[in-house]
Amino acid sequence: MNRWWVAGFSWELKDKPLARTFLGRAMVLFRTPDGRVGALEDRCCHKELPLSCGAVEDAGLRCGYHGLLFDTGGRCIEIPGQDRIPAKAKVRSYPLVERDKILWVWIGDTPDAQPADQPPAYPVHSDPRYQYGGDSFHYDAPWQLIHDNLLDLSHLGYVHTKTIGGNPTVHMNAKLTVDGQGEVVRVVRLMPNSEPPPTYSAAWPFTGRIDRWQEVEFRVSHLLIWTGAMDVGTGRFDDPEREGFHMRGFHGVTPETEGSAHYFWTIATNPHPDKDNVTQLVVDQTAATFYEDKDVIEAQWRNQQRFPVREQIDIHVDIGPNRARRVIAGLLKA
């Protein structure tokens, strides 16, 4: 509670209301024709039809049952055929902010809780060096299983063999560094002098083997993943302005219920000037990898439910996911 969560992307709010549940709270998201956005409890205060069954109008969202009209703050501003609007004619609203094409919703522990700061910035979406695309997925699995997957990229060599994978042995033996502070966990994996995987070869004119990196930064509501590669020996891993092929991923992971989650992602890449623009190829192949992840994670969750009494072992690649889980456990305890 009491933090910003990713609710979607700006391009998802068009001329119709959008129903989504975050942290067990059913909401309706909408944008008025003049550009204002709102997030309301998805329940009319009259006969409790979901407001997502209604229609967006100039002044707000109109209920599809008896026509009550609500503004972006949840206040009823019109009851057809009735002049007086009761003071109780309102629904809970949630602060909703657009920043860098990302929709952020604030979910407080009380109806009156308000954010003290703005949601995080993500300047990659406006960086002229990058072009990007993305999508929204729904998972029938708990949100922390998605964290585990994104913080442990050793699985690439086994799950994503046709796109961003590469040699499984190289992935499992990559130099691994994990650190962090407060709620942030940072995982860095380095794979010098390795073979480029298919997506990399299609997007960038490498001359042969590559020095490849994977940098993951976990934050409670989202993860930032910077992956890429350069020709062997042409740059340093510690140079933040290193050359080569870059993929910068934004991964918003928002719980829906205890056993389901929303996954909002974008991938940005730096097109090479001597190749046809391959941004769509990178986006499409990234989407393909995420569908593969989704299949694995949902199968994992189904099996965990089949075996409620079980014991897991940890191996060396679990250090990042385990540290993130400790962050969440501490917040829940507090």
Give tens-digit pLDDT for 286-309. 999 999 999 999 999 999 999 988
- pLDDT 10s digits, 101-159: 999 999 999 888 899 999 999 999 999 999 999 999 999 999 999 999 999 988 877 78
- pLDDT 10s digits, 215-238: 999 999 999 999 999 999 999 999
Residue 89: strand, helix, or coil:
coil
Is a pLDDT exceeding 90 seen at residue 175?
no
- pLDDT-derived band at 165, boundaries 50, 70, 90: low
Give the C-alpha separation, 9 to 132, whole Å.
Answer: 13
Q: Show the beta-strand stretches assigned E in 140-209.
A: 175-181, 184-194
- The partner residues of 139 in beta bridges, in order of sequence, read 261
Give the C-alpha separation, 212 to 190, whole Å.
Answer: 6
Q: Tell me, rounded to whole angstroms, the distance of Cα 217 from its chain centroid.
A: 13
Mean pLDDT of the chain: 94
Question: Could you tell me which of 294, 278, 291 has the C-alpha nearest to residue 199?
Answer: 278
- pLDDT-derived band at 172, boundaries 50, 70, 90: confident
What domains appear along the chain, each with residue ranges and CATH number? 3-107 (2.102.10.10), 124-333 (3.90.380.10)
- For 6, 92, 159, 167, 274, the CA distances from 289, given in Å and listed in that order, are 21, 38, 8, 16, 26
Average pLDDT for residues 78-82, to the nearest whole number?
96
